[in-house]
Structure 1
């Protein structure tokens, strides 16, 4: 690509045409620069080189947004015998951003830089919030000069843009060009010189002075594809910039910039499929961070589920709505991000949790928490509509936000400043909404709203609130309220299920619930008993509830996030954080207790049946279990305790028992427990100790339905409680199973299946 442009003064040139490998050639000096990438050398998955993709010319390099960058140790060389001062500098580069950073500490996500802003040295070309971009340089004499893209010239996601930045010290000009045309200019003093950052490496894709988050993550990194990076120590003219852009157009079919294929730029889950700790039949993002899955909805033959997501890396920051679609709530397909923060006054700072329902025409709509840090409060309830039509957008990929918030918190409307996670449903011709908040000076609360047109909402007061004195663990604020109909009980009363997630000082962050009645006249909830219950007795691994009534079967389905249990350093190394729990069906039992069970569709994942036994002693059962190994299993077991006061099953057990996790029931304490004191010997893993909670079996045998999916363990006991936990064994041979008890017991039945990946 050097034919039309005079390459005099070309100091550095990365064509990114390797197409493979972990280095990139800087062709002017012939230097092979290492590409830093988290999966170059791995601990938990198969090592692989950085991803290369189709570029504007040949190949381009795909930067993952949190670990990928190039460090080049050569320094800029000025003219006129003063190497540390440059009279001119020009940069040209093609970029296709996959995502934008939030702009923490007002720093740029660097495309290329070699700068020290504190010393007013060097240069920085990078992106900022919502696709804005800037070129910044340090001038001799201690001045720092910035030029920014004007409104309307932001860099679009998933499309190629050609950026040029030109500093001409002799003429006193600094300019920006987009796609060959000048879009901004500013003046500096004639005869100005750029002061080189002589003690700093030139970095591609990473800011020289990145801010750190949770000690492990460098912010301000470029996420997307980069190609054809050139740096000159002279000022390119407008004609030369235009010619360099035209040169690409002339080299491609049709004379237009090639489109970026979604499959080329999307997050790729392939490197994570071999991760020995990453679940393979639980729903998860392709990579990086997720919070709770939410807003489940069924439409036109498909289930849609969204999730809180940071596309930049596996850390909590700048939240978007990820999106999956499924025919059966088991086998999911990744779709593009549904909602992202944009340059508007609605939600520029985050798209937080919400729910989905249907409008008056039966079309799906999304209600979400709009994050706007320039507003007070910075949380409001907003809406987005699908672009679905009979002929287009069958996957509900595209959503258009309503331009204004629908519900803005006023003083006296709950705890001011905490107002989020709308749960919206339609009942006949009326829409109802619950919003998570609290009572000023009191406990958590779900606030009630009503609308006849889905756009104009009336506040109806607290739907239900906590008695913080009586139940301090319910905390000062509630998030993620969910209300589901349970139907009639034996006394003919119509029951509902209310779920909440407490947060704030003193809160136990779990999923609490009440069974009670929905008073439609007062739009309030009357619990059968004031004390809340837990669905899951694990510790912070079953959180973030969302729910829906499945139109196909009438079942109430609950989705949760299965929190990980790892350090930020291990999440960095792994490239992912958290996944969804298995979908649960919840219902009102004959005894008026809440029944829970994994959805029946999960049986479609069963592979080979590894074991089936009936009425075996402890010793005989374990003899049959010796040959059953695995970290992706479904296990159903019923144990009659006999003389044992404690009994259960060891999973992920190494042959010598040095690593193992014990799931067991304690008859005397009536508790379901997980003992993780021997789960792992890895010095960096956190999982340890004993966790669990109350489970009244009322004389029944223990019936465990266990789903083991690499680090995920979900144990469902007698259709009443679950215990969700995480295990990260260090040993690859920690794959065994063993029935355990403190006395003689009888294994009434046991069945084990291998489970298949959904990906």
Structure 2
């Protein structure tokens, strides 16, 4: 028995430790090997080294199954034999997704495996690639023999697979749910020789890493009743094995794919009441759509680990934009046009969803590697007639942007009896949007320039505008929101950081007329990105964006997740009719633990003073008198008892700017932005900063000033006692009129 940690990955190892038992079946191999049987029941002897210090068990075919996470957990054990003239491999498995891979052309893919013990010269494997194509491979005298299945392997359902080799008959076969899916001939009398490597379940014998940090070809799912036998089961015996578990398999779906709360139980940085996927990597939300009072949010996702590759569309639903249900992924890369080509084979990138006449229409950015439109970004269409908008039928590309240098992220809106679509693009060397119009959401006709002002005059020296949003705010006033990236715009650039900017204006005769040429910042200080919006039943406009990570890739790998969504923000037009205001949606109040309510004030503040109560899941409303005298005032967050960690957010009344000081926010060396940020504040539009409405959720902070101006950012305090909040007044006294606070109850995690 051995226990191993490989490059920080989780490895469960050891025949006896895993509940492996010798099979009693008489073998015909002539060797001492008789077989192995892996079970995953609680209470079985099990040694494990885990990145999350937990072995996850979920409901399985026989009691409990073993949950694997897609990048850092698998089974590894010794299995020794010289040679066999017969072999059966079988397991029950449920996949949350097909494995990831690097974003490379088809002929450069490297598969994962359900079961594998091979060195490339000897041994065996049941493999699966990132498009769900799978195969039983045998290595006989250095030659590879295989039975390949091009039909994608099922996801989100328990599935029985078996592979048999009968050397005396010269046949190898592969089975799915008791039915043969292929056979191949091998040399009569052949024997499979043992490879001097471990047996893996849930991972290939050959690892593939991305940027030398992330293992990208393990499996995300659950395994049960895994067997290796030294005889070839016949088709009737394989079918019987399937029938033994079929009834139980039909009763289990998402229950076996739940991420155990224990995986992140000790994580001080993971948010609890912000919307985010159950695990692994996410990015922009998009396709936020309301249908009959129920909200659906789609989002960029890598389901197999905290890394960006082979983008899927994740899916959540909610009745109030606060309590979310995790649903199956809506879209993922597939091969449609041939066995090795698909129009979205590189990834399902951002887009938008609308609901019309009982159908959902998703338009998304698709990209490929091979085929007639190699490397060409396109806008593709998928349609859903499912009441929960879970299942989507891909209809293929509807817009092809061959004449644009860069092109991504369509957004759809309805005006004057037409569907309108804008796409973030690089136009004439700068960021802009391409513009189309349609009557049926299928056939799109390109339109003249979307804005009355040239993009060169509006752009901030970017390469491309991402994630555009265009909506009516009030009356005849519309808002255009974009996220410029590239060229002179970078994540941490002090002058041109990556952030959303917007213009208000009028939409007349199919053209947007901005009220001003220079876009305004959506947030006072950058940190919140790429909002998606929807209408409530009452017609209110609500946006949810992403508040991205500010720590290293190694830290994200160790955490097992990356990025979180912002709290839902209600958008509104300020009285000047040229400024976008944002406030927290009222439904967030339902998360307050009313018994924890504390109220203080009024009091005079000079220097700093602690707020009553502590914790990493809190809501505070602090009301200052901005005319009472202090030159700078605000709050400190994540304060340790010895002040070894703290973050300051102050308003400078003289310079009329907010100052976010993160230099001491964390003792971790993995944090990338221990710096001071400054952001201009428009007192004329928002009023003097009087009310600080603060939501603290571990590493993510949402701040609303006067329920109008916003700041979203990340902090990563490491000390357990870094959970104090202080009020601060500098260079003068300040009247604190009231402080209210609540502990926040995290919504229960639900899967459907």
**TM-score scaled by structure 1?**
0.85
Q: Are 1:53 and 2:66 an aligned pair?
A: no
Q: Are 1:510 and 2:499 an aligned pair?
A: yes
Shift of residue 647, structure 1, vs aligned partner = 2.0
Distance in 2 separating the partners of 1:59 and 1:356: 38
Contact 1:353 1:421 (C-alpha < 8 Å) held by counterparts: yes
**Counterpart of 1:594?**
580
Distance in 2 separating the partners of 1:12 and 1:646: 76
Give per-residue Cα distances to partners, 1:338-365, cap 9 Å, x unaligned: 2233332443332221112232x25433
Distance in 2 separating the partners of 1:259 and 1:342: 28
Shift of residue 568, structure 1, vs aligned partner = 2.4
Shift of residue 329, structure 1, vs aligned partner = 1.3
Give per-residue Cα distances to partners, 1:516-565, cap 9 Å, x unaligned: 2223x2x22221111111111334x3112211233x22222111011122
Match among 408, 416, 421 for residue 433 of structure 1:
421
Distance in 2 separating the partners of 1:136 and 1:126: 7
Residues 634 and 133 (structure 1), Cα distance of their counterparts in 2 relative to 1, 3 Å cut = same
Give per-residue Cα distances to partners, 1:36-95, cap 9 Å, x unaligned: 54322xxxxxxx32224212x4443222212211221343332xxxxxxx5554423332
Distance in 2 separating the partners of 1:61 and 1:244: 25
Contact 2:363 2:381 (C-alpha < 8 Å) held by counterparts: yes
Contact 2:500 2:530 (C-alpha < 8 Å) held by counterparts: yes
Match among 362, 366, 373 for residue 369 of structure 2:
373
**Counterpart of 2:326?**
334
**Counterpart of 1:28?**
none
Q: Are 1:242 and 2:235 an aligned pair?
A: yes
Contact 2:452 2:512 (C-alpha < 8 Å) held by counterparts: no
Q: Are 1:729 and 2:717 an aligned pair?
A: yes
Match among 465, 477, 481 for residue 499 of structure 1:
481
Distance in 1 separating the partners of 2:282 and 2:458: 30
Q: Are 1:68 and 2:73 an aligned pair?
A: yes
Distance in 1 separating the partners of 2:27 and 2:251: 28
Contact 2:40 2:57 (C-alpha < 8 Å) held by counterparts: no
Q: State the superposition RMSD in angstroms.
A: 2.9
Distance in 2 separating the partners of 1:250 and 1:124: 24
**Counterpart of 2:437?**
450
Residues 126 and 37 (structure 1), Cα distance of their counterparts in 2 relative to 1, 3 Å cut = farther
Q: Are 1:224 and 2:227 an aligned pair?
A: no
Q: Are 1:39 and 2:52 an aligned pair?
A: yes
Shift of residue 424, structure 1, vs aligned partner = 0.8
Residues 606 and 612 (structure 1), Cα distance of their counterparts in 2 relative to 1, 3 Å cut = same
Using the TM superposition, name which of 430-439 and 178-187 deviates more.
178-187
Residues 615 and 164 (structure 1), Cα distance of their counterparts in 2 relative to 1, 3 Å cut = closer
Contact 1:356 1:364 (C-alpha < 8 Å) held by counterparts: yes
Query: What are the within-5 Å matches in structure 2 for residues 578-657 of structure 1?
Result: 578-592=563-577, 593-608=579-594, 610-618=597-605, 622=609, 625=610, 627-639=612-624, 640=626, 642-657=628-643
Match among 743, 746, 749 for residue 754 of structure 1:
743
Distance in 2 separating the partners of 1:245 and 1:465: 68
Residues 38 and 2 (structure 1), Cα distance of their counterparts in 2 relative to 1, 3 Å cut = closer
Shift of residue 452, structure 1, vs aligned partner = 1.4
Distance in 2 separating the partners of 1:653 and 1:744: 22
Give per-residue Cα distances to partners, 1:605-626, cap 9 Å, x unaligned: 222454333441115982xx45
Q: Are 1:686 and 2:682 an aligned pair?
A: no
Match among 383, 386, 396 for residue 385 of structure 1:
383
Distance in 2 separating the partners of 1:466 and 1:135: 60
Distance in 2 separating the partners of 1:363 and 1:250: 37
**Counterpart of 2:396?**
404
SS in 2 for 1:263: helix
Residues 671 and 326 (structure 1), Cα distance of their counterparts in 2 relative to 1, 3 Å cut = same
Match among 648, 661, 668 for residue 654 of structure 2:
668
Residues 644 and 14 (structure 1), Cα distance of their counterparts in 2 relative to 1, 3 Å cut = farther
**Counterpart of 1:81?**
none
**Counterpart of 1:126?**
127
SS in 2 for 1:314: coil
Distance in 2 separating the partners of 1:578 and 1:37: 22
**Counterpart of 2:335?**
343
Q: Are 1:108 and 2:108 an aligned pair?
A: no
Contact 2:133 2:148 (C-alpha < 8 Å) held by counterparts: yes
Shift of residue 291, structure 1, vs aligned partner = 0.9
Shift of residue 485, structure 1, vs aligned partner = 0.7
Residues 156 and 253 (structure 1), Cα distance of their counterparts in 2 relative to 1, 3 Å cut = closer
Distance in 2 separating the partners of 1:246 and 1:172: 21
Residues 306 and 14 (structure 1), Cα distance of their counterparts in 2 relative to 1, 3 Å cut = farther
Give per-residue Cα distances to partners, 1:238-287, cap 9 Å, x unaligned: xx232432332554587x96453322224455643663222122111122
Contact 1:134 1:146 (C-alpha < 8 Å) held by counterparts: no
Shift of residue 663, structure 1, vs aligned partner = 0.8
SS in 1 for 2:124: strand
SS in 2 for 1:461: coil
Query: What are the within-5 Å matches in structure 2 for residues 347-362 of structure 1?
Result: 347-359=344-356, 361=357
Match among 382, 395, 409 for residue 421 of structure 1:
409
SS in 2 for 1:462: coil
Residues 584 and 22 (structure 1), Cα distance of their counterparts in 2 relative to 1, 3 Å cut = farther
SS in 1 for 2:149: coil
Distance in 2 separating the partners of 1:187 and 1:248: 24
Shift of residue 5, structure 1, vs aligned partner = 5.8
Structure 1: give runs of 5+ residues left out of the alignment. 25-33, 41-47, 79-85, 489-493
SS in 2 for 1:463: coil
**TM-score scaled by structure 2?**
0.86
SS in 1 for 2:503: strand
Distance in 2 separating the partners of 1:52 and 1:133: 25
